[in-house]
Amino acid sequence: MSVDTVSLTGWGRTAPTTALRFRPRTYEEAAVAVRGCGPRGSIARGLGRAYGDAAQNAGGSVLDMTALNRIRTIDAATGLVVCDAGVSLHRLMEVLLPLGWFVPVTPGTRYVTVGGAIGADIHGRNHHISGSFSRHVQDMELLTADGGIRTVRPGTALFDATAGGMGLTGVILSATLRFQPVATSLMSVTTERAVDLDDLMARLTASDHRYHYSAAWIDLLARGRATGRSVLTRGEHAPLHVLPARARRTPLAFRPGQLPVAPALVPHGLLGRTSVALFNELWYRRAPTYRIGELQKLSTFFHPLDGVPHWNRVYGRRGFVPYQFVVGFGQEEALRRIVRRISRRRCPSFLAVLKRFGNGDPGWLSFPMPGWTLALDLPATLPDLARFLDELDEEVATAGGRVYLAKDSRLRPETLAAMYPRLPEFRALRAELDPDGAFRSDLSRRLGL
């Protein structure tokens, strides 16, 4: 097993810390690394796509899980897949799409591991129909603090602590996942514009149930009457008969394209307010008022940013701070207030995403709950951004909502406790299962998880 000392950050490239990185290739090697970890503990890391400090562990051990990447069995008849936790969703698509199966939930990037998907209990554009990732996990193998391996099934406390538990209950070694059948690798997409936030919410409420996938890109720099103007894209996996004749010959081909890598050094100020506003404007105007049945590649529909490797560099050396929250149905006024505050402040935020969540899943620290979620990215250098986000936290917490841990790098521990009412159970389970703190991360230290 290779071991080195590295400085690590999350995808947002803020708050680097140094740890000893182990790269286990077998379950035994992973167990050795966990048993041998020092007083500063260990944490699993997938592809490092969590934005903040969830998959780093200052002064301790980090288990890079990406060498544990075998797909063990595929049941082509039922769509049940057993794979190691370090396999990426990209790889699963490559292998399973030609067999007519698609991942049950995909986030805005394919480059996340199964372990990371369970650890953050990720959601996708189909949350209103399919829930979060853990809903499609039949069981998993978990390496716990005692060095033993347990099979964990839904409906148990350990499952609910692990789904969304940010790697703090142990190292997921493998999982059995239920895939969904698809007839083609294309998406049939409906696009429409919404003139403002209320129009958007009305459209989503009225017809989301008719689409498998739904999300809206919202222009947070638009002000006044246009506040919240957006472009909705909703879609389905295209059935075979809508494909043009040529495409029908290879309906399940998976061909994500790639653009050039983003430059390592980006001049400061490229992401100024004016250029971002201009971009948002163009993009809104370019969108059709209404268009149905457009065929798009999977990658275009789900993972537009994956086409530009290292796109996080466009925010420059100081990185950026994402913010994603959810407020429940009935709290629309809070959502309106927050959107108004962001647009009034003229934060240079590229297209933000608004989505309507469906029912939540039982994970104790799982993020989604029925309601409205808004996700945006902001350059870390914006003046007084820290205080502004603290104020937004207050709004969110008062409305009974919460902030997404996979995207957090700045929450206060007290606010977190108010947002996640099942945190005491999570802490109690950890205290019992892992009394010496074999699993710790910068996130767990910062927030006292």
Q: Which stretch binds ligand FAD (CB under 6 A): 120-128, 278-286, 409-417, 420-428?
A: 120-128
Q: Is 312 in the site for another protein (CB under 8 A)?
A: no
Determine the Cα–Cα distance for residues 279 and 258; give it in Å rounded to an integer: 21
Q: Is 379 in the site for another protein (CB under 8 A)?
A: no
Restricting to residues 414-443, which ones interact with another protein according to CB under 8 A?
442
Q: Is 7 in the site for another protein (CB under 8 A)?
A: yes
Determine the Cα–Cα distance for residues 350 and 366; give it in Å rounded to an integer: 26
The pair of structure tokens assigned to 256 is 């994500």
Q: Is 89 in the site for another protein (CB under 8 A)?
A: no
CB-count exposure of residue 27 (10 Å: 0-12, 13-18, 19+): middle
Q: Is 55 in the site for ligand FAD (CB under 6 A)?
A: yes
Q: Is 41 in the site for another protein (CB under 8 A)?
A: no
The DSSP annotation for 46-90 comes to SSS-SSSSTT--TTSEEEEGGG---EEEEETTTTEEEEETT-BHH
Q: Is 401 in the site for another protein (CB under 8 A)?
A: no
How many residues does this entry show for the chain? 449
Q: Is 403 in the site for ligand FAD (CB under 6 A)?
A: no
End-to-end Cα distance, the chain = 30
The pair of structure tokens assigned to 250 is 């290879």
The strand pair at 371-379 and 352-357 is best described as antiparallel
Single residue of 380, 397, 399, 406 touching another protein by CB under 8 A: 380
**Closest approach of ligand FAD to the CB of residue 128, in Å:** 13
**Closest approach of ligand FAD to the CB of residue 65, in Å:** 4
Q: Which stretch binds ligand FAD (CB under 6 A): 31-39, 47-55, 247-255, 281-289?
A: 47-55
Q: Find all residues with CB under 8 Å of 438, minimum gap 6, and list them.
A: 34, 37, 41, 42, 145
Out of ligand FAD, another protein, none, what residue 44 binds, judged by CB under 5 to 8 A for its kind, is ligand FAD
Q: How many residues bind another protein (CB under 8 A)?
A: 28
| Helices vs strands, H then E, count in the chain | 14, 19
Q: List contacts with ligand FAD (CB under 6 A).
A: 11, 43-50, 54-55, 65, 85, 107-109, 112-113, 115-116, 119-120, 122-124, 166-167, 171-172, 305, 406
Q: List contacts with another protein (CB under 8 A).
A: 7, 12, 14-19, 40, 52-53, 57-60, 318-319, 321, 380-381, 385-386, 409-410, 412, 442, 445-446
